[in-house]
Amino acid sequence: MDPSQRKMLEVSYEAFENAGEPWERFSGPRTGVFIGNMTSDHSVMQAYDADFSLPYASTGGSNSILSNRINHTFNLRGPRIQILTAKLGALSATSTCHTFDVSADGYGRAEGFGALYLKRYSDAKVGGYPIRAIVRGTAVNSNGRTAGISHPSADRQEALIRQAYKNAGLTTHDTTYFECHGTGTPVGDPLEMSAIRLMLTEIQVKTNLGHAGAASGIAGIIKTVLALESGMIPASIGIQSLNPLINFDDAQAKVLTELTPWPPERPRRASVNSFGYGGANGHSGKLFRTG
């Protein structure tokens, strides 16, 4: 079995366990599985070594079987959707993401897995389940035609954020924390920053953990939820000198270089960006603290 299948089983179990959800309640036709992934290590190994092929190589290593592995193990009979997502670009010579820094030269790779258990707020309240955060609105779009097939679009990113907030019935004025996609690339960072207008603070998970590819979006959400719960905003590391091509004053935003308490006068509300290198954009806004 490919390590990705084993790790997804582990984090899925932990998500159910953390939610305090009994097996008999989540097992059945009303629970769906939605997974984004990039690669299958075992499939690549088989391509290089004919002797590596095993009897269960197809079900144990195929990308298409990953979400079904979760359905099969936990007897989940709802919708099963698997999306091939990616964020690939120039690798940093220093193996480090220097997001928003003048020395940004690409991103550092990471490996990661994450799982979120989503439930209607009304159902969670009635059932007495622990609610880590509330998602008020989301949106997705695509870049369309840009300077290059992997070239980001500030206009489409800005439209994405506005649509997410429109879907939530909210404005950006009371958002305190903004988790950027921030890969540490010379082109992507300035364009993303130009798409952000009314945010007060921003950081990015990739300077802390590295770029986890298809798992980078869920890593950003989990990190944001932890910041909401703790009331502490983690620092962006690797920042020595801000990129002069990025106008932070215009966007009323700043990069935090040290652990910072959540401003007591500000609501604990946040947004998360996540983009694919092929032109897919996603935004989750807003994440609310529940306490």
> pLDDT (tens digit, 9 = 90+) per residue, 9-50?
999 999 999 998 888 888 888 899 998 887 777 777 777 776
Per-position DSSP letters for 14-61, written without gaps between them: HHHHHHT--HHHHSBTT--EEEEE---HHHHHHHH-GGG--TTHHHHH
> pLDDT (tens digit, 9 = 90+) per residue, 64-100?
788 889 999 999 999 988 877 655 444 444 556 767 7
**Confidence category of residue 210, pLDDT binned at 50, 70, 90:** low
Q: Both tokens of residue 206? A: 């990739």
CA atoms of 186 and 199, how far apart (whole Å): 21
Alpha carbon distances (Å) from 199 to 1, 206, 245:
44, 19, 18
Q: Both tokens of residue 8? A: 């997804």
Q: What is the CA radius of gyration of the chain?
A: 20
Output 67 or 183, whichever has higher pLDDT.
Answer: 67
Q: Report all structural domains of the chain as residue ranges with CATH numbers, in order of start.
A: 3-83 (no CATH), 121-288 (3.40.47.10)
> pLDDT (tens digit, 9 = 90+) per residue, 131-159?
999 998 888 888 888 888 777 788 888 88
Output the average pLDDT for the chain.
Answer: 77
pLDDT at 222 over 80: yes
| Model pTM score | 0.78
pLDDT at 220: 85
For residues 97 and 238, the answer to whether their CB atoms sit within 8 Å is yes
Q: Both tokens of residue 115? A: 């799982």
Among the listed residues 85, 80, 5, 92, the one whose alpha carbon sits nearest the alpha carbon of residue 42: 5
Mean pLDDT of 47-67: 73
